[in-house]
Amino acid sequence: MGKAGKALKQVLGTYRISQNRLAVTMGINRSTVHQWVNETSDPLAEAVTEIVKALRKIDEAASEDFINLYLERPPQDNESS
C-alpha cells in the first residue's frame, strides 16, 4: 500500500494520538483510520488533505511531520540558512 499509512502510523505513535481521536476530529469512522494505519486501504487525495487539517487541530508538529514523511522530505529546521 501507500506512503500515507506508514506516515500516519509513525506520526500517531510519535505524538501518542489515538486512531479514535483522529477519526473523531475528522468526523469519520475509526475503522477507516485503522485501515489506513494498517495499510489495508489507502486514503484518497482528499482524505490526505483532511488528515493534515485534523492533525493540525490536534498538534501542529504532528501535522508537519506527517507532511514531511508523506512527501519523503527531511525534517525542516526552524532556522534560515
Question: What pLDDT is stored for residue 76 in this prediction?
Answer: 63
Question: What pLDDT is stored for residue 69 in this prediction?
Answer: 95
- pLDDT one-digit tens code per residue, 10-30: 999 999 999 999 999 999 999
The model carries a pTM of 0.87
Cβ 58 vs Cβ 25: under 8 Å? yes
* Closest alpha carbon to 43 in 24, 51, 22, 23: 51
User: How large a percentage of the chain has pLDDT more than 70?
Assistant: 90
Give the pLDDT mean for 65-78: 82
Q: Cell numbers of 45, please? A: 487525495
Residue 80 confidence (pLDDT) above 50: no
Q: At 1, is the pLDDT very low, low, confident or very high (cuts 50, 70, 90)?
A: low
